[in-house]
Amino acid sequence: MQLLLNSDVPFAPAQRTFRDVKLYLIALAFAAGNLLLPMAVHSIPNGGLIFLPLFFFTLVAAYAEGLGAGLLVALASPLLNHAVTGMPALAMLPVVLLKSLFLAVAAATLARRLGKVSLAAIAGLVLAMQALGALLEWALFGSLAQAAHAAWLGIPGMALMALGGYALLRWIAGLRGKGAAR
């Protein structure tokens, strides 16, 4: 039996147009997940910085549902979270929005080009997003030490996002495979 983490699964992301009502319903569901997960994680001291919960459903939405859904979730999630909870802080909102948009575009592009769910690819996406965030923080706030510290704190979250995103996308691939077989 092949190890779960070493197996790539064939996968075709949905490519919905902005005229498709289902796109907005799916994006709304993923954005709601990006609201609820951070609310739970922020009950832990530094939970947001450590576990990076705001990006999880953006990654999954873009990889599974394509660029349109990814962009909607990437924009709505940080803005909705800020409006409802005050997090991310206003000063960090541009960094979070740019990281979120980068993740959506990169995940949708990678899913379409790879045609499979790959743990290595998803881990690479998450790592690239966090590196971009560190560079943006450094550029905006002028402190390499602060940016490096934030990136370092996010290591557990990067691992959980890569593993959790991979597992959820494999599950979605399985559901789609069963639906195609009928």
Q: Is 17 left (phi over 0), alpha (psi -120 to 50) or beta?
A: beta
**Which CATH number is 56's domain given?**
1.10.1760
pLDDT per residue over 149-162, tens digit each?
A: 989 999 999 999 99
For residues 62 and 103, the answer to whether their CB atoms sit within 8 Å is yes
Supply the pLDDT for residue 96: 95
Residue 5 banded pLDDT, cuts 50, 70, 90: low
Domain of 87 in residue numbering reads as 4-181
pLDDT per residue over 9-36, tens digit each?
A: 889 889 899 999 999 999 999 999 999 9
Residue with tokens 């998803």: 122
Rounded Cα distance, 178 and 117, in Å: 16
Mean pLDDT across the chain: 91
Give the chain's domain count.
Answer: 1
Rounded Cα distance, 148 and 134, in Å: 6
| Of the candidates 108, 117, 120, the residue with the CA atom closest to the CA atom of residue 170 | 117
Supply the pLDDT for residue 116: 95
Supply the pLDDT for residue 2: 46
